[in-house]
A = this chain, B = another copy of it.
Amino acid sequence: MAREARVSRQTVSNVLNQPDLVRPETRRRVEGAIERLRYRPHASARRLRTRRSATIGIRLDPVSANGISGSVLDGFLHALTERAAERGIRILLYAANGLDAEIAECRRLIDESEVDAFVVTSTTYGDRRIAWLVEQRIPFVSFGRPWGVTDLGDPRYRWVDVDGASGLRMATEHVKALGAREVAFIGWPSPSGIGEERRQGWIEACGLDPERMAELSVGVGDDVHEAAQAASELLDSPRPPDAFVCASDSLALGARMALVERGLETPVVGFDDTPVAAAVGFSSVSQPLPGVADVALELLMGPEGGVVVDDPSRLLGPTHRLLQPELMIRGAVPRLEEGRNER
Contact = CB atoms under 8 A, between A and B. Distances in A.
Number of copies: 2
Contacts of A266: none
A91 B114 CA distance: 11
Interface string A219-255: 0011111101100100000000000000000100100
Contact of A70 (B74, B224, B250, B337): B74
Contact of A343 (B40, B108, B221): B221
A81 interface: yes
A68 B280 CA distance: 10
A73 B100 CA distance: 26
Interface residues of A, number: 69
A92 B55 CA distance: 9
Interface in A281-322: 281
Interface string A91-127: 1111100000000010010011110000000000000
A152 interface: no
Contacts of A337: 229, 232
Given A92-B91, A261-B263, A261-B336, A276 B81 contact: no
A58 to B, nearest CB: 9
Given A224-B280, A253-B276, A258-B336, 20 more contacts: A40-B108, A40-B112, A42-B113, A43-B53, A43-B114, A44-B53, A60-B77, A63-B75, A63-B275, A70-B70, A81-B95, A85-B105, A90-B93, A223-B279, A223-B343, A224-B279, A225-B279, A228-B336, A257-B257, A257-B280
Interface of A: 38, 40-45, 47-48, 53, 55, 60-63, 66-68, 70-71, 73-75, 77-78, 81-82, 85, 90-95, 105, 108, 111-114, 221-226, 228-229, 232, 250, 253, 257-258, 260-261, 263, 275-276, 278-281, 333, 336-337, 339-341, 343
Of all A-B residue pairs in the complex, the 7 with the closest CB atoms, nearest first, are A40-B111, A44-B47, A225-B339, A224-B279, A44-B48, A81-B95, A43-B112
